[in-house]
Amino acid sequence: MIKYSLKAEPEAAPAADVAIGEHIAPVPRISIQAFCESAETAAVIQIAGEDRRLAKAHLKMQMGGIAAAVEAYKNSPTPNVIMIESESRGDDLLTGLDQVAEVCDSGTRVVVIGRMNDVVLYRELVRRGVSDYLIAPVGPLDVMRAVSGLFAAPDAKPVGRTIAVVGAKGGVGASTIAHNIGWAIARDLWLDAVVADLDLPFGTAGLDYNQDPPQGIADAVHSPERIDSAFIDRLLSSCTEHLSLLAAPATLERVYDFGADAFDAIFDVLRSSVPCIVLDVTHLWTGWARRTLIAADDILLVAAPDLANLRNAKNIIDLLRASRPNDRRPHYCLNQVGVPKRPEIKPADFAKALESEPAAVIGFDPQLFGTAANNGQMIAEVSARHRTAEMFQHLAQLLTARSETKRAKGGLLTPLIEKLMGRKA
């Protein structure tokens, strides 16, 4: 590893120490990708990445600056944060960043490390939605301060979004779909995800991910006074590099009658530290289940193609739309479609009754789903190129708002505006 040394004069190099009273908050479980141009900056970012404050983040780094970033994201989703070093000046820098914006997913925050200290340039960067601009040479603390500031500022958006998956009836495959989507978000979108199994007595997430953790969501919901991010962290079991599970106990000694707000604190903590939280909401109509759906950032309703599912789906969607007038409408998908000899209601009839097209129509495939369930595997692990595996990828993109990937323009974020105003004032 290249050793970092402060080459410039102290006044040219931003503060190398944390100022007295300054607190650089540890960053959540975000993904960061850095594209450097100089070995010095690369070394500094590497050091920052090893700091305790970035311990939860996943940092990848490569050389090549703007050009490498554009190339990297042409066909793949962008992480939570992109750091780009550029030695270009003025218009060259802005043109390069415009190319990055074209391949950048909305929600991704861009931090630029440049050479110029120029207020006109700052303004143009703000206009393009760049979240922060650091002037090289930078130190590890500058990097940490910038990344931490994106998430710790009082007005920063919470890092995490909840996606609730619920069945229109019992047994329609909602949990299977939730688990596969969580897995796809972590593997294909490179976003850290937690799957929370809210079916406390009978949940199957542990089985599906081949995990048998001794602790999980019950420990949290039964100890509300202990809930904070360190406590929830200890209850998570790691399934893959980016995927963790908040498992259900799946035991029957206790009953699980909760108040309507019993899970609020757990979800708040998860939202503050994990980009994507998939809630496997069982088919129930309790106070907490309804509240979980209404409060979710996005909803996927899973229905099988029969009349009871259609009626329930309509009721659930109507209720959710009325309770969430300013939100995206809930998505729904049809599952277990095409059972031999079974009369079924057609996707077009669902679309008419529910006033929107299904986000996916997943075929009935007992061989594939049965193998996955019995082996504790995901569909893509049983059959990587299967159409159903691709549908889970598609649903993962849709539900993380990464579908219209390559069109995020302007307004990536605004913290730099405040910074700029502070400077001007």
Ligand X SMILES: Nc1ncnc2c1ncn2[C@@H]1O[C@H](COP(=O)(O)OP(=O)(O)OP(=O)(O)O)[C@@H](O)[C@H]1O
383 binds, among ligand X, Mg ion, none (CB under 5 to 8 A by kind): none
Residue that has been written with the tokens 């495959």 in this structure? 173
Closer CB to ligand X, 108 or 175, in the complex: 175
- Give me the least distance between CB of 199 and ligand X, in Å please: 5
Determine the interface stretch with ligand X among 77-85, 237-245, 359-367, 404-412 (rule: CB under 6 A): 359-367
Member of 34, 362, 378, 412 binding ligand X (CB under 6 A): 362
Nearest one of 111, 189, 162, 152 to 28, comparing CA atoms: 152
Closer CB to ligand X, 146 or 168, in the complex: 168
- Give me the least distance between CB of 259 and ligand X, in Å please: 22
Residue 376 sits at φ, ψ, to 5 deg, of: 65, 45
- Give me the least distance between CB of 222 and ligand X, in Å please: 21
Exposure pattern of 247-259 as b/e (b: 16+ CB <10 Å)? bbbbeeeeebebe
- Give me the least distance between CB of 24 and ligand X, in Å please: 42
Residue 42, C-beta contacts closer than 8 angstroms, at least 6 positions apart: 2, 34, 36, 61, 63
* 185-224 footprint of ligand X as x/- string (CB under 6 A): --------------x----x--------------------
Using alpha carbons, list the distances in angstroms from residue 350 to 67, 100, 172. 46, 40, 15
Nearest one of 320, 337, 56 to 173, comparing CA atoms: 337
* 367-396 footprint of ligand X as x/- string (CB under 6 A): --x---x-----------------------
Closer CB to ligand X, 27 or 281, in the complex: 281
Residue 104, C-beta contacts closer than 8 angstroms, at least 6 positions apart: 73, 78, 82, 110, 406, 408, 412
- Give me the least distance between CB of 208 and Mg ion, in Å please: 10
Query: What is the β-pairing status of strands 243-246 and 193-197?
Result: parallel
How does DSSP assign 164-207, residue by residue?
EEEESSTTSSHHHHHHHHHHHHHHHS---EEEEE--TTT--HHH
Closer CB to ligand X, 62 or 375, in the complex: 375
d(CA 206, CA 353): 35
- Give me the least distance between CB of 330 and ligand X, in Å please: 16
How many amino acids of this chain bind ligand X (CB under 6 A)? 20
Task: Show the tokens assigned to 47.
Answer: 């050091």
Give the footprint of Mg ion on this chain (CB under 5 A): 175
Task: Show the tokens assigned to 40.
Answer: 């010095």
* Residue 53 DSSP class: G
Member of 33, 86, 336, 405 binding ligand X (CB under 6 A): 336
* 153-192 footprint of ligand X as x/- string (CB under 6 A): --------------x--xxxxxxx----------------
Closer CB to Mg ion, 106 or 377, in the complex: 377
- Give me the least distance between CB of 269 and ligand X, in Å please: 24
Residue that has been written with the tokens 């409408």 in this structure? 329
Closer CB to ligand X, 159 or 165, in the complex: 165
170 binds, among ligand X, Mg ion, none (CB under 5 to 8 A by kind): ligand X
Residue that has been written with the tokens 């850290």 in this structure? 192
Closer CB to Mg ion, 175 or 388, in the complex: 175
Amino acid identity at 38? S
Closer CB to Mg ion, 175 or 312, in the complex: 175
336 binds, among Mg ion, ligand X, none (CB under 5 to 8 A by kind): ligand X
Closer CB to ligand X, 136 or 382, in the complex: 382
- Give me the least distance between CB of 302 and Mg ion, in Å please: 9
Nearest one of 240, 238, 236, 233 to 183, comparing CA atoms: 240
- Give me the least distance between CB of 216 and Mg ion, in Å please: 15
Nearest one of 164, 114, 122, 94 to 332, comparing CA atoms: 164
Site of interaction with ligand X (CB under 6 A): 167, 170-176, 199, 204, 282-283, 335-336, 362, 364-366, 369, 373
